[in-house]
Amino acid sequence: MNDKQLFDTMCESLYAAVISDTLDELGYRHQVMRENINPIDPNWVIAGRAKTVLAVDVHYIPENPYGKEIEAVDSVNEDEIVIGCTNESTQNGLWGELLSTACKVRGARGAVVDGLIRDTKKILELDFPVFATGTKPVDSQGRGMVIEYDVPVRCGGVMVNPGDVVFGDRDGIVVIPNQLVDEVIKLALDKATRENNTRKELLEGRTLRQVYDKYGVL
């Protein structure tokens, strides 16, 4: 399947916990971002390729404060998720309504920021999924700036490379290294099916031991 079909399937059939469990089983036990990065609408579910953006705090107004930021957003591709690494900054809101609008029009599937955002009312109205640590209304000019994009970043405590697959829901954000995507999705879909069967049989009155021995999931 192509990327669009893959990400649609992930959003319809998978969830962060089952993907995390699958990565654990493969020995990748540190692929979930910090618990303080959450969707501003808990019903949002996202899956897509990582478009990495690196920002740092500054304490002066640069001559061209938005140069790299504009380049980064204008280079976003369809089915990508912007991964905004701010190094856990609390100085400013890196992400807002206009960046969300530009990315949605380009076909992006969402944004994950390990820092603060603003314009949340407008972002909710736009229905562009954004995950962040919190909100702050101040502009980034003179407080933070994008210095690079399409480079490896550490976001939410997880190393993210351009092209990795990112999945997020109300439970958290999981990063699947690109070389593992096919294997992880196949195993996660199988585990999700076994969990669904387990739930069904529990509701029918079977004991947890009975269904665990049958399906091997908990």
| pLDDT tens per residue across span 45-87 | 999 999 999 999 999 999 999 999 999 999 999 999 999 999 9
- Give residue 132's pLDDT: 98
- Is residue 114 within 8 Å of residue 85, measured between CB atoms? yes
Give CA 92 to chain center in angstroms: 20
Quick one: average pLDDT of 117-126?
Answer: 98
Give residue 20's identity as a one-letter amino acid code: S
Q: Is 119 annotated as a binding residue?
A: yes
Judged against a pLDDT cut of 80, whether residue 37 lies above it is answered with: yes
Architecture of domain 3-176: 3-Layer(bba) Sandwich (3.50)
- Is residue 84 within 8 Å of residue 115, measured between CB atoms? yes
Better-scored residue on pLDDT, 1 or 90 = 90
| pLDDT tens per residue across span 144-200 | 999 999 999 999 999 999 999 999 999 999 999 999 999 999 999 999 888 888 888
* Domains of the chain, residue spans: 3-176, 186-215
Q: Determine the Cα–Cα distance for residues 119 and 100; give it in Å rounded to an integer.
A: 10
Q: What is the pTM of this model?
A: 0.93
- Give residue 106's pLDDT: 98
- Give residue 214's pLDDT: 85
Spell 175-194 as b/e; 16+ CB within 10 A means b: bbbeebbeebbebbbebbeb
- Is residue 217 within 8 Å of residue 208, measured between CB atoms? no
| pLDDT tens per residue across span 87-118 | 999 998 899 999 999 999 999 999 999 999 99
- Give residue 53's pLDDT: 98
Judged against a pLDDT cut of 90, whether residue 2 lies above it is answered with: yes
What is the DSSP secondary structure assignment for residue 178, as one 8-state letter?
A: G
Q: Determine the Cα–Cα distance for residues 216 and 207; give it in Å rounded to an integer.
A: 13
Q: Is 139 annotated as a binding residue?
A: no
- Give residue 211's pLDDT: 84
Better-scored residue on pLDDT, 217 or 81 = 81
- Give residue 212's pLDDT: 85
Better-scored residue on pLDDT, 10 or 201 = 10
Q: Is 69 annotated as a binding residue?
A: no
Q: Is 14 annotated as a binding residue?
A: no
Judged against a pLDDT cut of 90, whether residue 216 lies above it is answered with: no
Q: Is 183 annotated as a binding residue?
A: no
Q: Is 21 annotated as a binding residue?
A: no
- Give residue 143's pLDDT: 95
